[in-house]
Amino acid sequence: GAVVSQHPSRVICKSGTSVKIECRSLDFQATTMFWYRQFPKQSLMLMATSNEGSKATYEQGVEKDKFLINHASLTLSTLTVTSAHPEDSSFYICSARALSGGDTDTQYFGPGTRLTVL
């Protein structure tokens, strides 16, 4: 089946630094990638939708200058948390939607990246 990876799996950083999280579709091309934030035992909160080669669409309340998204290719999207603060500590999950073939509505989820800001 389709595999989505994230790197790093966990990161600890100091307040004020920037952190980049990568999301890759390993065996398929993804027209669209989604970035979510998850709080313990809660629903995934959609942060933004990124389409290859175009600007990301951010959900209301998500600061686009703080959470920079780059969808440079059909297999890679990156989320950069700029000037991270402790309140940004969370579990970030990406998902990817296939380009073509099969069920193009299916999202394949990554394993998540746990960010801790000290």
Partner 1 sequence: GQNIDQPTEMTATEGAIVQINCTYQTSGFNGLFWYQQHAGEAPTFLSYNVLDGLEEKGRFSSFLSRSKGYSYLLLKELQMKDSASYLCAVMDSNYQLIWGAGTKLIIKP
* Positions that interact with partner 1 (CB under 8 A): 1-2, 9-10, 34, 36, 41-46, 93, 105-112, 114
- As a whole number of angstroms, the distance between CA 101 and CA 112 comes to 25
User: Least distance (Å) from partner 1 to the CB of residue 110?
Assistant: 8
User: Of 21 and 93, which CB lies nearer to partner 1 in the complex structure?
Assistant: 93
Q: What is the 3-state composition of the chain as percent helix, strand, coil, each rounded to the nearest 5? A: 5, 55, 45
Q: Pick between residue 14 and residue 41 the one whose CB is nearest to partner 1.
A: 41
CB of 97 to partner 1, least distance (A): 11
Contacts of 52 (CB under 8 A, 6+ apart): 30, 31, 32, 71, 72, 73, 74
CB of 83 to partner 1, least distance (A): 25
Q: Which is nearer to partner 1, 1 or 86 (CB)?
A: 1
Separation between Cα atoms, residue 99 and residue 68, nearest integer Å: 23
